[in-house]
Amino acid sequence: MKELSLSHLGALVLSLLLWGTTFPALKGILSMPGNPPLALFFYRYFDSTVILVIVVLIMKRGRSLRCPFRYYLLGILNFFAMAFQMEGLVLTTATKGAVLSQMVMVVVPFLSFLLLGENFSLRKLLAVFGALSGAVMISTNLDFSGLLVRNSFQGDLLVSASVLFWSLYIVLTRKWASHADPISLLWASQIPTVLLAFPACLLTGQVHLTRQGHGAALFLGLICSLVTTVLYNYSLRRIDATTSTILGPIELITALLISLFVLGEGFTLVETAGSMIALCAALFAVVPSPARFLPRPRKFW
């Protein structure tokens, strides 16, 4: 964070703002009949991969799509994170799913500390707590009645597994983004995801979309996969994984505002307060602090 530049911070914020359009878009298109979630998942990544190949061919300039084999782990993590999250949310309550999904803000800082040796200051610890609190308020409106519902243990495990996969994805992206070509990281993330999503669609019989569904898949693939991932990978060249995660509630707030003004959904006092807390935590996180809360451990790789 000592070398933080406005361009990298701006790229991160813009990627989160664009990612914030994902949930309203998904909610709108999945509410229409004939648009199953796994089919939308597959076509989103199929369309974005085709676009990526075309763009690279046009702007080739000696660029190769080949990348170190280990980078493809990002795509595997991305697929399982999304698949487990979608399946888990079907089996558990919305409240549990929302709370468990926000735990990525706790897992990433500790994984970054243990595996990457990133600084973990008191300032960051407080920012993590603030961002997590605000995100939970936004996601649940402080209605935790769903937490008492039984028989959702399998769904809870799947959502928890998705959090672990997302956290590993963020940490590894941070590790490799400092010296890798952002396009190579994007390619490595896209290919395993689309290859694994295709048989998942065939096995479940979710292979068709409506015309509106294909339009949504194209938007999600181009804007919410390609553009956002390039911006995110670029930002992680200079921004640590912990700080990028603390800024994550910007995505939730964007989704909330779109739901308010486009979908006509309500905006409660609790959600407003949660948004303010999360934004304050994000601002608190990007202010450098020389004091370390814990000594950095040796890197595991």
Give residue-wise pLDDT tens across range 47-88: 999 998 888 877 765 556 677 889 999 999 999 998 888 777
In whole angstroms, what is the distance from residue 34 CA to residue 95 CA? Answer: 26
**According to the per-residue pLDDT averaged within each range, which of 40-49, 85-94, 148-157, 200-209 is highest?**
40-49
Q: What is the mean pLDDT of residues 209-233?
A: 91
Model confidence pTM above 0.85 = no
- Asked if 251 and 19 count as a contact pair (C-beta separation under 8 A), the reply is yes
224 near 26, Cβ under 8 Å? no
Predicted confidence (pLDDT) at residue 43 exceeds the cutoff of 90: yes
Rounded Cα gap, residues 154 and 131, in angstroms: 27
Distance (Å, rounded) from C-alpha 107 to C-alpha 98? 15
